[in-house]
Amino acid sequence: MKNKRLEERRKKIPKEVDLFVKHSFDFVDRIHQILLYQGKEQKDLAKALGKSESEISKWMSGTHNFTFKTAAKIEAVLGESLLQFTTKKVEVKKVHLIISNPNFKLKSTEKYSTLSKTMSTVVDSCKGQSGNYLN
């Protein structure tokens, strides 16, 4: 049975915090997998990195905020990749935006702009994103 109060609090956790925790544990799990595959222990990693066993133990708790520099050092001593990036091509298309209201309001600056009655401009937009640029 789930605790309602706890579930309500979980719903309020920002997405970036959820992602940080997930990525942190995935990163540590990957290190554990490599160490296991290589027949090594955390103390071997500590020695290779010139760190204390207690520091590596803290890192491996899953709450350490690794830097790319630290990740690169770990990758270098383990000889394995820890990070994988996907390169997703984003299709860009050109759209024509016609503004016909001479006194449209720019929400971001809260200032009014005066344009000719009809103006056409080219705006780059990512496929699938909203074309509502003035909101």
CA distance 51 to 55: 7
CATH number of 4-78: 1.10.260.40
Full-model pTM: 0.59
Give the CA-trace dihedral at 18, 23, 24, 27, to 10 degrees: 170
pLDDT, tens digit (0-9, with 9 covering 90-100), for 83-120: 888 777 777 777 666 666 666 555 444 444 444 444 44
Query: How far apart, in Å, do the first and last CA atoms of the chain sit?
Result: 43
The predicted pLDDT at position 85 comes to 80
User: Does residue 99 sit in helix, strand or coil?
Assistant: strand
Residues of the chain with CATH 1.10.260.40: 4-78
User: Tokens 């940080």 identify what position?
Assistant: 20
